[in-house]
């Protein structure tokens, strides 16, 4: 890069010195002396100032970038669950009136270890997710859906009807961020959050 810059600089000096051809200038003035005038580097002070400015900018941007990563990590968990529940609804419709799809949750008391699976009328889960699929310590807490200290479940049927056992909420949290996924009596699913910057409606 330095040699490239030096050659271009030398070329312009040749052009600027009228009355001399490149060969005449070359013969009278050594190439090394021209390059010394053309190629200039950074002083140590300039380099240190640049490094200080870069360090300050990184220090300012780093916290915001970390918050962005946390928000996206939490939203990824929520959006995956919503997508899986839509898939479960589609499977229930495909099975007809006699079919149903079960959504089952398992979790530890701390919420740090959790998983859920979606199973149709067969015994093999069609979807299985767990905390290990996501990095960053997203926790899960379940209320309703017949929740015990470690499990909860509900069924999705082709025809929506009032179903008290299908009412429940799972709350995903990551540090100060939290999102609730709620299922109502008619099987409708809603998402809310106390954190406006996550892009969901505020929880009432």
pLDDT above 90 (res 31): no
E strand segments, 38-150: 101-107, 114-119, 125-130, 139-144
d(CA 104, CA 119): 8
pLDDT of residue 100: 82
Instruction: Please state the domain extents for the chain.
Output: 2-41, 68-202
For 156-166, what is each residue's pLDDT tens digit? 887 776 777 78
Q: What is the pLDDT of residues 65-116, one digit of tens each?
A: 788 888 899 999 999 999 998 888 888 888 777 778 899 999 999 999 999 9
Segment 134-142 mean pLDDT: 87
Quick one: pLDDT at residue 1? 46
Under CATH, what is the fold of the domain 68-202? minor pseudopilin epsh fold (3.55.40)
Alpha carbon of 10 to those of 22, 31, 42, 95: distances in Å?
9, 8, 20, 79
Q: For 24-36, what is the mean pLDDT?
A: 52
Q: Mean pLDDT over residues 105-129, rounded?
A: 86
Q: Per-residue b/e over 42-81, b at no fewer than 16 CB within 10 Å? A: eeeeeeeeeeeeeeeeeeeeeeeeeeeebbebbbebbeeb
Looking at the chain, how many residues does it have? 204
Given the DSSP bridges, would you call strands 101-107 and 189-193 parallel, antiparallel or unpaired?
A: unpaired
Q: What is the mean pLDDT of residues 5-9?
A: 47
Cα separation values, 117 from 103, 128, 139, 166, Å? 6, 4, 16, 16
Q: Token match 């600089």: residue?
A: 9
* Predicted pLDDT at 164: 76
Beta-bridged to residue 71, according to DSSP, are none
Against a cut of 0.85, is the pTM above it?
Answer: no
């Amino acid at each position: 890069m330095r040699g490239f810059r030096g050659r271009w600089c030398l070329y312009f000096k040749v052009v600027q010195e009228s009355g001399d051809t490149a060969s005449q200038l070359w013969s009278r003035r050594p190439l090394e002396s021209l390059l010394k005038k053309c190629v200039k580097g950074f002083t140590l002070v300039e380099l240190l100032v640049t490094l200080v400015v870069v360090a300050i900018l990184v220090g300012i941007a780093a916290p915001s970038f970390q918050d962005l990563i946390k928000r996206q990590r939490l939203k990824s968990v929520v959006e995956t669950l919503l997508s899986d529940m839509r898939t479960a609804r589609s499977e229930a419709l495909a099975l007809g009136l006699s079919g149903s799809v079960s959504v089952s949750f398992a979790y530890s008391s701390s919420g740090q270890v959790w998983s859920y699976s979606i199973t149709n009328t067969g015994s093999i889960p069609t979807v299985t997710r767990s905390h290990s699929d996501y990095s960053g310590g997203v926790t899960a807490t379940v209320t309703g859906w017949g929740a015990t200290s470690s499990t909860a479940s509900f069924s999705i049927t082709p025809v929506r009807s009032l179903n008290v056992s299908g009412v429940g909420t799972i709350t995903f949290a990551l540090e100060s961020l939290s999102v609730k996924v709620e299922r109502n009596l008619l099987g409708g699913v809603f998402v809310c959050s106390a954190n406006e910057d996550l892009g969901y409606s505020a929880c009432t």
